[in-house]
Structure 1
Amino acid sequence: MSTAPPRRPSIAGRLASQLLLISVLWALLAGLCVWLVVQEEVDELLDETLQASSQVLGQLLRQQAPMPSEVADGDDLSTHFAWQLVGPDGTLLHRSPLAPVKAWKLPPGFSDWVDDGSDGDDWRVHVRPLPTAAGPGWLMVAQTSAERKEVRTRVGLASAFSALLVGGLCMVWLNRRARRELAPLDQLTVALAQYDPFDSRQRLPEQQRRELVEIRAAVLELGQRLAQRVANERAFSAHAAHALRTPLAGMDAQLAMALREAPPEARGRLQRTREAADRLRRVVTALLTLFRTGMSLRWQRLDLSELLTLLPLPDGLALDVPEQAWVDADPDLLAAALINLLDNAWRHRATRLALRCHTLPDGGAMLELADNGEGVPDWQRVDLNDALERQQYEGRMGLGLMMADLVARAHGGDLRLPAADQGFLVAMRLGPAPD
Structure 2
Amino acid sequence: MSAATGPRRPTIAGRLARQLLMISAFWALLAGVSVWLVVQEEVDELLDETLQASSQVLGQLLRQSQAMPGEIADSDDLSTHFAWQLVGPDGRLLHRSPLAPVKAWKLPAGFSDWKDDGSDGDDWRVHVRPLPTVAGPGWLMVAQTSAERTEVRSRVGLASAFSALLVGGLCMLWMNRRARAELAPLAQLTGALAGYDPLDTRQLLPEQHRRELAEIRAAVLDLGQRLAQRVANERAFSAHAAHALRTPLAGMDAQLAMALREAPPESRARLQRTREAADRLRRVVTALLTLFRTGMSLRWQRIDLIELMALLPLPDGLALDLPEGEGGIDADPDLLSAGLINLLDNAWRHGASRALLRLHRLPDGGLVLHLSDNGEGVADWQRVDLNDALERQQYEGRMGLGLMMADLVARAHGGDLRLPVVSEGFAVALRLGPRPD
Whether these two folds match at TM > 0.5 is yes
By how many angstroms is 1:430 displaced?
1.1
In 1: Cα distance, 2:122 partner to 2:427 partner? 91
Which one is further off, 366-375 or 174-183?
174-183
Deviation digits for residues 61-97 of structure 1, max 9, x if unmatched? 3333454444445654755432222222333333333
**Alignment match, 1:426:** 428
Q: Which residue of 2 aligns with 1:163?
A: 164
Return closer, same or farther for 1:396/1:69 CA change in 2, 3 Å cut-off: same
1:193 maps to 2:194:
yes
Of residues 70-79 and 106-115 in structure 1, the stretch that sits farther from structure 2 once superposed is 70-79
Q: Which residue number corresponds to residue 383 of structure 1?
A: 385
| CA deviation map 1:32-72 (0-9, x unaligned) | 33323322222221111111111222223333345444444
Equivalent-residue separation in structure 2 for 1:30 and 1:320 (angstroms): 81
**SS of 1:292 mapped into structure 2:** helix
Secondary structure of the equivalent of 1:232? helix
Give 2:351's aligned amino acid. Answer: R
Partner residue in 2 for 1:395: 397
* Between 157-166 and 390-399, the greater mean CA deviation after superposition: 157-166
Q: Which residue of 1 aligns with 2:334?
A: 332
Partners of 1:54 and 1:371 lie apart in 2 by 111
Aligned twin of 1:54 = 55
> Does residue 141 of the first structure (1) align with residue 166 of the second (2)?
no
Letter in 2 for 1:415: L
Measure how far apart 1:290 and its partner are: 0.7
Equivalent residues in 2 for 1:400-415, closer than 5 Å: 400-415=402-417
Residue aligning to 1:344: 346
What is the letter of the counterpart of residue 109 of structure 2?
P
Query: How far, CA to CA, are the matches of 1:284 and 1:99 in structure 2?
Result: 112
2:369 aligns with: 367
Q: Does 1:316 align with 2:329?
A: no
* More off after superposition, 76-85 vs 29-38: 76-85
Q: Quote how far apart the aligned CAs of 1:234 are.
A: 0.5
* 1:354 maps to amino acid: L
Q: What is aligned with 2:27?
A: 26
Fraction of identical pairs, as percent:
85
Q: Output one character per residue of 1:138-161: Cα deviation in whole Å (capped at 9) or x when no partner.
A: 221111111111111211222222
| Local SS of the residue matching 2:399 | coil
Matches for 1:226-375 after TM superposition, within 5 Å = 226-323=227-324, 324-375=326-377
Stretch moving more, 272-281 or 397-406? 272-281
Cα distance between partner residues in 2 of 1:119 and 1:426:
95
Between the aligned partners of 1:124 and 1:373, the Cα distance in structure 2 is 104
* Residue aligned with 2:316, SS: coil
Letter in 2 for 1:418: P
| Match status 1:219 vs 2:220 | yes
Deviations 1:376-404 (A, max 9, x none): 22222222111111111111111111111
Shift of 1:202: 2.8
Question: What is the alpha-carbon distance in structure 2 between the residues aligned to residue 340 and residue 168 of structure 1?
Answer: 64
Residue 115 to residue 417, structure 1, CA distance change in 2 (3 Å):
farther
Hey, what's the Cα distance between the residues in 2 that align with 1:201 and 1:137? 101
Of residues 270-279 and 360-369 in structure 1, the stretch that sits farther from structure 2 once superposed is 270-279
The 3 A distance-change label for structure 1 pair 354 and 116 is farther
Normalising by structure 2, we get a TM-score of 0.92
Aligned equivalents of 1:177, 1:73: Cα separation in 2: 60
CA distance in 2, matches of 1:75, 1:217: 85
> Structure 1 residues 119 and 356 mapped into 2: Cα distance closer, same or farther (>3 Å)?
farther
Partner residue, 1:116? 117
Distance apart, 1:197 and its partner CA: 2.0
Instruction: Give the AA of the match of 1:347.
Output: R
Counterpart residue identity of residue 410, structure 1: A
- Helix, strand or coil at the partner of 2:14: helix
Q: For residue 378 of structure 1, what is the amino acid of its counterpart?
A: D
Deviation at 1:298, TM superposition (A): 0.5
Residue in 1 aligned with 2:211? 210
Which residue identity does 2:378 align to in structure 1? V
- 1 CA distance for matches of 2:60 and 2:280? 122
1:106 — aligned with what?
A: 107
One-letter amino acid of the counterpart of residue 245, structure 2 = L
Q: CA deviation at 1:415?
A: 1.4
Deviations 1:125-146 (A, max 9, x none): 1111122233222221111111
Cα distance in structure 2, aligned partners of 1:351 and 1:152: 97
SS at match of 1:432: coil
* 1:236 CA drift (Å): 0.8
Q: Distance in 2 between matches of 1:16 and 1:274?
A: 69
**SS in structure 2 of the partner of residue 152 of structure 1:** helix
Amino acid at match of 1:384: L
Deviates more, 1:254-263 or 1:395-404: 254-263
Answer with 84-93 or 308-317: which moved more: 84-93
Q: Distance in 2 between matches of 1:319 and 1:242?
A: 29
Instruction: Kindly provide the amino acid, as one letter, of the partner of residue 160 in structure 2.
Output: S
Q: Find the aligned partners of 1:4 and 1:100 in 2 and give their Cα distance.
A: 78
TM-score by length of 1: 0.92
- Where in structure 2 are there 5+ consecutive unaligned residues? none
* Structure 1 SS opposite 2:186: helix
- Tell me how many residue pairs correspond in the alignment: 435
TM-fit CA distance, 1:300: 0.6
